[in-house]
Structure formats: structure tokens, C-alpha cells
Structure 1
Amino acid sequence: MTEPGSVFDRIDRSVLGPPGATRLSLTVHVGSRVVLLSPQESRRVLYGPRRDITLGAAVWRQAVTEARREPRDGDGTGRLLVVWLVLPALYRNLHRILRLWRRVERIDLEAEAVLAVLAALDVADPDNSETGGRLVKEAVNRMWAYARRVTREIPVVDISAFAEARNAAAPPEEQPHPPEGWEVHITPPPRREGLYATLRFAEPRPRQDGRRITSGLPDLVFRARRHEDADLIGTLVLRPSGAGR
């Protein structure tokens, strides 16, 4: 489920360690029973096909309790284990977001999810049976919020670079014109706010068997027209390509 080099993959490797390494364990109390669980066994209790709700609640309770008892300057293994236990519940939403928005980076989503779990862990109540679900919910909500925020961002034009490029461009009268074409000039109405300038584009007149066809002119005007219900964006001037103003 994880990708090499991803945030979740690093957490996997940190919790599980190399083969043969000493691994974390949870001592879970369920009534009069004491159960010693490895990280993998803890996950199977929470997400496996044969889930034990009572044992699952005990796993969350013990994991959160141990994580919150850790000193801030400790190695953070208990907090990391809680994050690792949350991960399987995040993949569905993670992949859904990545399918919806190509601009969103997976590594950023995973980082946001981890931060959300750690923040929620600081105020989590170990004795609340809904603690595990709340940790998952915080992480999922944070991923969606991040994705929506990123996709709403609009790239800002580099004004100085735009000005340099504009000043370096050939003046309109020196720009090449399509032979026997049409030019459309749109001059916006004066307004106090924002930037505005005359827009110009050209299109060649189509030919067939060496004869000029005039149907290109009405088609060009039709595409440049203003709908009767739309706002006025400017005055349209149509002239043969290369003609003086």
C-alpha cells in the first residue's frame, strides 16, 4: 500500500524495523485478560476480517495512553506507533484525492495526515471508545482540506517578467501578418481598476482551388461576438490583415 520513499513508507520501516530487529509491543488489558500484541497483531485486531470491538478499543486505549506518557524529548516510538495504526484507514481517501486532483502531491497529503494525527493525539482521551475513529477522522479531514486549498490556488503572474517579455516583443506594426487574413482588435472600455490593453488576433482567409472564401469572416466575427446577456468587455474592430488603423 505504501510507496518507497513516501512518508507512510518511512513510518512503516521505522515501526517494523529490519528483519530480526526487536519490535514494539502493546500490553493490552481486556477485563481480567492481559494480551501482548505486536504492531502487526494490533493492526489485525483493528482492521482484520475478524475484528474484536472490545479488544480493538483496548488497543487504541493502550497505544494512546503510552504515546501520551512519552516525554517530549523522548524517541517518540509510542506516538509513531499510534500514527502507524491509523494509516490503513487513510488509504481509501488518499487515493481518491489523488485521482480527483492531479496537482496534489502524495507526499504532501501524507505529511498533512501525520501532522493531523499528532495534533489530535495531544488532546485525545484514551478512555473514550471513539478515540481511534477520531484520530482517523482528523487525518482524513486534514487531507481533504489541504487538497481543496491547493487546487483553489491560482498562479500569480510575474509582473516584471511579463513586462520584460512585452517590451522585448516586436511592435504590432512589425509583427508578421497572415497573408490575406483578418485582424480582430478588442479594446476594453475604460475602467479604474485592474490592467487592460487592446487584444489582437489574426486568422488567414481560407482558400479553395485558388479562390478566396469569404465564409471565414462571419465565422470569425461570430466567435468573437458578445452574447446579449454578457457584460461588455470591449469594442471590436475588424480589418484586413496588415491594414493601417
Structure 2
Amino acid sequence: MTVTSTSSMFAAVARHFENPRTAETVQLTAVADNMTPVRLTPAQARGALYAPGHDPALVAPIWDQVVRAAAAEHGPSDPWRLLLIWLALPRLTGTAFRVCRRLRADRADVEAEMVLALLEGLRSEEQPSAASVDALLKTARSRAWRLARAGAREFADDTLERLSDGRTLPYHEPQNTEQVRPLQVEVTRHEGTDGLGAQLRFTVSPESVGRQVLTALAETAERKGAVCRTREMGHGRRVTADSRRRGRGRR
């Protein structure tokens, strides 16, 4: 399991209900069929939903009261929406973990998207009830996957900037701009490297990066399991990094 970040929304909600004073401000009254009304604290309500040996007859009444009360709230200090999120966490945490592990998404962003989807779905329900819970949670999980997949399509790489900032480049006389040609850098990740294996391409001007920076980039690629080579292509230089596996296949 991953360590929960201090910016985690799930963790913030959990800390809120760990406070003993919370039990004094929020009380549920669950009324099952042909049963005496049962008053529950938030912790008791969560235990009635998820604890081993819980009473299935209390599940629907608990969700029904929480969902209806949360939908009727309008002020920021009302506690029922927080209670809805807290009771839903056991059914959302596993999805958040899988999304972050598979798509390398930010945990705080994923959790915030799930909570937002849950509250937006609650607001769109005309007659919220216990029967709405499954659909609300399904929507929240789907939104988390969509957010992570959208972020995985494009990502920024600051390798060149970090290499340039970390090295002191010598002063060079200004060159004739007609003789300066852009560089195209292509990096193919090693097949055995963890994480995304997408091919990376950069087009940089010689004014922004010098020979020492490109040399450092080649050294970095060597340490990560890639073989770098330079060749002339058309009107510009092309620096490529091919995997050792590909190189062995050509020999």
C-alpha cells in the first residue's frame, strides 16, 4: 500500500471522523422493517455497513438517511455530505489505488475527482435514496479512470532543462544564425524499464542547449539502459537513443 499524502482528501475526511467530538454532532436513526429505531454514531453506522457479521437489514436505512440528508444540505458547515463521503470511502479507496498504480496518476487529484463526482451526482438526483448509492459510486470510479487516462496521454519532460540548469556552460561567441540548425532528439525507452514506454521526441535550438548538455543526456541514457548515437539527417542533426535489445537484433 502507498503512504497517504498529507494532501489526500480521503485522509482529511477520515481524520475529521476520528475526532470524538464528531460523534456528538452527527447522529443517525436507522429504522429497518418491523424493527425499533436504532440510533447510531458515524463509527457505528460504518461498522453496520462493512464490519464482519453486520446486519443487512440496517444497510438500506443507513444509506437512505445519509443520502437524503446530504442532498438537502446547502451550507458549508453541514456534516452530512462529509458523512456520505466517509461512508463511501471503503468502496472508493481500492479504485483510487489501482488508478494511481496503473496510470501513474496523482493520488490527490484522483481522490478529489471522485469526491467531486460523488457530490455532483448527488445534486443531480431528483429523489436520492439508498438505491442511488451504487450509481453514484460507479460514476465516481469512472471519473477517476477518465481523469487518469486523459493525463497519461500527454506529459511534460524537463530533462533538458534540468541538465542545462545543472551544468555551467562555457561562454561562446555568437554564431551566425544562418549556420545554426535545430536539433531533433529522439529517445526510445528501454523495453525493461518500469513506467511508460512511449517514445519521446524533442526539437530544441542550439541556442538553448549546447554540446555539453547533449553529452550529459547521452550519459543519462546510457545509465538507464539505452545506447545513444548521432547522425546527420537532411537539414538538421538527429540524436537518437535506441534500446540495447534493438541493437542486438541488428547484429
TM-score (norm 1): 0.62
| Aligned with residue 103 of structure 2, among 90, 97, 101 | 101
One-letter amino acid of the counterpart of residue 113, structure 1: M
Per the TM alignment, residue 142 of structure 1 is displaced from its structure 2 partner at its CA by: 1.4
Identity %: 30
* 8 Å Cα contact 1:8/1:110 also seen in 2: yes
Alignment match, 2:88: 86
Alignment match, 1:43: 46
| Aligned with residue 34 of structure 1, among 33, 37, 43 | 37
User: Alpha-carbon deviations, 1:141-184, whole Å to 9, x = none?
Assistant: 11111111111124389xxx99885126669xxx9xxxxxxx96
- Long gaps (5+) in structure 2: 159-163, 165-201, 216-228, 241-246
* 8 Å Cα contact 2:99/2:145 also seen in 1: yes
Is the aligned partner of 1:166 residue 2:206? yes
Per the TM alignment, residue 86 of structure 1 is displaced from its structure 2 partner at its CA by: 0.6
SS at match of 2:37: strand
- Long gaps (5+) in structure 1: 176-182, 189-195, 202-218, 224-245
1:181-200 correspondence to structure 2 within 5 Å: 185-188=231-234, 197-199=236-238
Alignment match, 2:154: 153
* 8 Å Cα contact 2:9/2:111 also seen in 1: yes
One-letter amino acid of the counterpart of residue 187, structure 1: M
User: Alpha-carbon deviations, 1:62-83, whole Å to 9, x = none?
Assistant: 001111222x234131111111
Q: Distance in 1 between matches of 2:50 and 2:156?
A: 41
Would the alpha carbon gap of residues 146 and 131 (structure 1) be closer, same or farther in structure 2, given more than 3 Å must change?
same
TM-score (norm 2): 0.61
One-letter amino acid of the counterpart of residue 167, structure 1: E
Aligned length: 186
The structure carrying a bigger helix percent of its residues is 2
* 8 Å Cα contact 1:25/1:39 also seen in 2: yes
User: Alpha-carbon deviations, 1:24-78, whole Å to 9, x = none?
Assistant: 11112223431111111111222222243332111111001111222x2341311
SS at match of 1:112: helix
The structure that has the greater radius of gyration is: 1
Q: Distance in 1 between matches of 2:28 and 2:22?
A: 18
Question: How well do the aligned residues superpose, as a CA RMSD in angstroms?
Answer: 3.7
Alignment match, 1:241: none
* 8 Å Cα contact 1:86/1:135 also seen in 2: no
Is the aligned partner of 1:24 residue 2:33? no
* 8 Å Cα contact 1:7/1:110 also seen in 2: yes
SS at match of 2:236: coil
SS at match of 1:167: coil
1:1-245 correspondence to structure 2 within 5 Å: 3=4, 5=6, 6-18=8-20, 22-32=24-34, 33-70=36-73, 72-102=74-104, 104-124=105-125, 128-155=129-156, 166-167=206-207, 185-188=231-234, 197-199=236-238
